[in-house]
Amino acid sequence: MSTLSKNTFSRRAFMRTSTLAGGGMLIGFNLFQSCKPKVVPPVDLSQLNYNDFNAFIKIAANGAVTIFSPNPEIGQGVKTSMPMIIAEELDVAWKNVFVKQGILDTNNYTRQVAGGSQSIRFGWDALRQTGASAKQMLVNAAAARWGVDASECTVNEGVITNAAGETLGYGEVVNEAAALEVPENVTLKEPKDYKIIGKDAGNVDVARITTGKPLFGLDYKEEGMVYASVARPPAFGQKLVSYDATEAKNMPGVIDVITIGERARAHMNGDNRNWSAKLADSDKVVVIAKSTWQAMKAKKALKIVWEHNNPESTEKHNKILLSLLDGKKFNTLRSDGDINNAFATADKVLERTYESPFLPHNCLEPMNFFANVTDEKIHLVGPVQTPASAADTVADMLGRDVGDIHLEMTRMGGGFGRRLYGDFVFEAAEISNTIKKPVKMVSSREDDMGTGVYRPAIKYRIKAAIKDGQLTGYHLKEAAINDNMYGLIPNFFPAGAIENYQVDVASYNSNITTGAWRAPYTNFLAYAEQSFFDELTELMETDKIQLRLDLLEKVKGTNDDRIQYDPERMQNCIRTAVEKSGWGKKPEGTYQGFVNYYCHNTHVAQVADVVVENGNAVVKKITCVVDCGIVVNPMGAINQIEGGILDGIGHSMYGDFSFKNGAPVANNFDRYRLIRMNETPEIETHLIQNELSPTGLGEPTLPPVGGAIANAFKAATGNRLYQQPFIKTPELLKVPKKEILG
């Protein structure tokens, strides 16, 4: 099976070269788009312009290759895996490749974004073709010097050899190669010839991480920089009335106390629905000090009066969301057949409701950003997943040209979706614009957890119709805070497999800010759906695996282009998981739960093994099968897969974030529980081997694992779990006493 992409578009469209002053070749290229017709890369590295090209490769006269990797790094490994793809086609030794994080100069290009597990999927073709084109130019230059045909030259790790056995290193021909035309057609390698792709490569920053080098936003410093600690409304819906900073201003190191908010609000232009408007709704009081500690300490000494306005609570949300599910006001996102008729004529009906809380992201590096706004330019440095839109917003807020903005991305101490929302960039910029100094805005953990852009609380109600032993109807209803599922999610499994199928959504507009959280919507939906299927197989008295395989069989040959999961690949994952996990063949005392799921273009099947210790059900092992096409870097891939699984287990088990009087009940790790070492089961991963284009891994293993453990807990205890986090109902995680005795 091979669907390697052909060279369908011209390299001329997105790649150009120049000879660097002092020697060496610079290749500018654009991922995901073509470039302007006449731009050329600069001849001086200090002039790299990411408006003209969003990535660059430098081949030095000594043959060393430096790749300026464009995508922000949040721990998902693209700073390693994307350059690996270029290096493979360029045919250089991976150990001779250096990777540098690109800088954002302006916002005039697409997808310099870390999110949606899409970096590798979208970059695959462009990265390979860039590497292959550069290689061809180097070979053409060597062939011209030798006076031979390029087709008789071979390349191995940056050394070109001709038929007579003479050799030239890339460095020896870079200057000539840079002057050549970019070839119209190049041949891409066959996967069987890969030397870098598919081999383990360590994280390119690992030695700097293990020695504590300043890589992160919080580590960035500049001469004359001051620190800012921001007092934001302690509850959602509150607004600043007045404040007394007398005591704070007299504290050591305090330079000034100011308010910000006006510019952020002006930018919103009356739109009060989205996350940034809600976070900018009130003015904020900012302490400026000579050190972080002094700023944080003085913030606590501020006496602030906040006006309370429509405080919300989890208790209220629960009632509202349940009444939405009971009601009739829905948006229908997909409707096949006649769902009402299916239920009217059913022999059996199963209906269940699944409930989830809000979740904070809790990136371990709290939100922070550096800004230095001067009349000449705006310098922004820090961790943000959406640098382009952050730069755009800052320019608009401050009434400046986006060309004035120079934004440098640092490594990010976690993202999980939180750093898609640049409120901390806007704050830093507004502060620096007011005080006219370079400033670092630093949130405390309490600030970070208390003013987030949370995963919204959601409830799902799923109802299935069974007639003559067949699944004839499936109705999924969603009630969510603020926003509903989007994109192709309504067309995920079991869409296409059941004749009468409907997805309805409803939402309640809250003043609590919500947004993307690792695997948006599916992070809870997958658990709900896969728990429901587990229960359904019991009601239908059918085999858990066979029902899934049979439903997938019905999707084969569909001409519905909204259905993007591949039933055959999913069946293969399921069968592999059955085999590798020893499904149904475990010794007495081990209870298993099965799930399969497709999201972010990747197919996954998982089996959880649970045992009973002192009457409590405990997760011991997860077996995970993943089909993400070609695996660029298995070492990095498995790290993502395991991290996703443990993140999914942790939040299903412990993630509890509720609101009282508009404020979150938990604001630090003493009251908000994250998964830790002792709760970590063994994980066994199997990667399906094929030659299909690679898909993402940052998210897909997280959503279903909550279902895997819930289904295994049911097998162990007899209890179904309908609410996350599971720890909230500890009695359901125990084996009923009489069974222990019996």
Partner 1 sequence: MPTFQLKVNGKSKTVDVAADTPVLWVLRDHLDLVGTKFGCGIGQCGACTIHVDGNPLRSCSTTLEQVKGKEITTIEGLSADGTHPVQEAWIEVDVPQCGYCQAGQIMTASAFLENNPNPSEQEIKNAMHGNICRCASYTRIRKAVAIAAEKMS
| Sheet of strand 55-59: strand arrangement | 15-19, 25-29, 55-59, 65-69, 97-101
User: DSSP letters along 54-90, please?
Assistant: SEEEEE-TTS-EEEEE-SPPSSSSHHHHHHHHHHHHH
Residue 276: both structure tokens together = 């940034």
- Least spacing, CB of residue 523 vs partner 1, in Å: 14
- Least spacing, CB of residue 679 vs partner 1, in Å: 9
Whether the bond between 233 and the residue before it is cis, its omega within 30 degrees of 0, is: no
Given the complex with partner 1, which of 75 and 131 has the nearer CB atom?
A: 75
Q: Count Cα atoms within 13 angstroms, Cβ side, for 654.
A: 15
Q: Does 410 bind partner 1 (CB under 8 A)?
A: no
Q: Does 48 bind partner 1 (CB under 8 A)?
A: no
Q: Does 411 bind partner 1 (CB under 8 A)?
A: yes
Q: Does 669 bind partner 1 (CB under 8 A)?
A: yes
Given the complex with partner 1, which of 76 and 434 has the nearer CB atom?
A: 76
Give residues with Cβ within 8 angstroms of 730, minimum separation 6: none
d(CA 117, CA 433): 35
Q: Does 211 bind partner 1 (CB under 8 A)?
A: yes
**Pairing state of beta strands 378-382 and 239-244?**
unpaired
Q: Which stretch binds partner 1 (CB under 8 A): 180-188, 230-238, 396-404, 442-450?
A: 442-450
Q: Does 292 bind partner 1 (CB under 8 A)?
A: yes
Which residue among 2, 46, 151, 210 contacts partner 1 (CB under 8 A)? 210
Given the complex with partner 1, which of 68 and 227 has the nearer CB atom?
A: 227
- Least spacing, CB of residue 444 vs partner 1, in Å: 6
Residue 420: both structure tokens together = 């898609």
Q: Does 674 bind partner 1 (CB under 8 A)?
A: yes
Q: Does 736 bind partner 1 (CB under 8 A)?
A: no
Contact letters (x/-) for partner 1, 296-325, by CB under 8 A? -x----------------------------
Q: Does 424 bind partner 1 (CB under 8 A)?
A: no
Q: Does 76 bind partner 1 (CB under 8 A)?
A: yes
Which residue among 163, 179, 207, 344 contacts partner 1 (CB under 8 A)? 207
Pick from 44, 41, 62: which is nearest to 53 by CA? 41
Q: Does 643 bind partner 1 (CB under 8 A)?
A: yes
Q: Which stretch binds partner 1 (CB under 8 A): 162-170, 326-334, 541-549, 669-677?
A: 669-677
Q: Where do the DSSP E strands lie in 600-672?
A: 602-613, 616-627, 659-660, 663-664
**Size of site (CB under 8 A) for partner 1:** 64
Contact letters (x/-) for partner 1, 167-206, by CB under 8 A? ---------------------------------x-xx-xx
- Least spacing, CB of residue 684 vs partner 1, in Å: 10
- Integer angstrom CA distances of residue 454 from 38, 56, 263, 384, 484: 44, 36, 24, 16, 14
Given the complex with partner 1, which of 213 and 348 has the nearer CB atom?
A: 213
Given the complex with partner 1, which of 344 and 364 has the nearer CB atom?
A: 364
d(CA 119, CA 630): 14
Helix, strand, coil shares of the chain, percent, nearest 5, are 35, 25, 40
Given the complex with partner 1, which of 286 and 342 has the nearer CB atom?
A: 286
Q: Does 697 bind partner 1 (CB under 8 A)?
A: no
Q: Does 655 bind partner 1 (CB under 8 A)?
A: no
d(CA 603, CA 596): 8
- Least spacing, CB of residue 383 vs partner 1, in Å: 9
Given the complex with partner 1, which of 64 and 251 has the nearer CB atom?
A: 251
Q: Which stretch binds partner 1 (CB under 8 A): 70-78, 106-114, 429-437, 480-488?
A: 70-78
Other C-beta atoms lying within 10 Å of the C-beta of residue 491:
18
DSSP 191: G
User: DSSP letters along 127-190, please?
Assistant: HHHHHHHHHHHHHHHHHHHHTS-GGG-EEETTEEE-TTS-EEEHHHHHHHHHTSPPPS--PPPP
Q: Which stretch binds partner 1 (CB under 8 A): 34-42, 138-146, 286-294, 468-476?
A: 286-294
d(CA 352, CA 350): 7
Q: Does 247 bind partner 1 (CB under 8 A)?
A: no
**Under a CB-based contact definition with an 8 Å cutoff, are residues 721 and 653 in contact?**
no
d(CA 659, CA 9): 52
Q: Does 550 bind partner 1 (CB under 8 A)?
A: no
In the region spanning residues 361 to 380, those forming contacts with partner 1, defined by CB under 8 A, are: 362-366
Other C-beta atoms lying within 10 Å of the C-beta of residue 47:
10
Q: Where do the DSSP E strands lie in 191-290?
A: 226-231, 239-244, 254-260, 284-289
Given the complex with partner 1, which of 673 and 720 has the nearer CB atom?
A: 673
- Least spacing, CB of residue 497 vs partner 1, in Å: 32
Q: Which stretch binds partner 1 (CB under 8 A): 437-445, 502-510, 525-533, 600-608?
A: 437-445
**Under a CB-based contact definition with an 8 Å cutoff, are residues 79 and 417 in contact?**
no
**What is the binding site for partner 1 (CB under 8 A)?**
74-77, 200, 202-203, 205-207, 209-216, 218-219, 221, 227, 252, 291-294, 297, 362-366, 411-416, 442, 444-446, 635-636, 639-640, 642-643, 645-647, 650, 668-670, 674-678, 680, 682-683
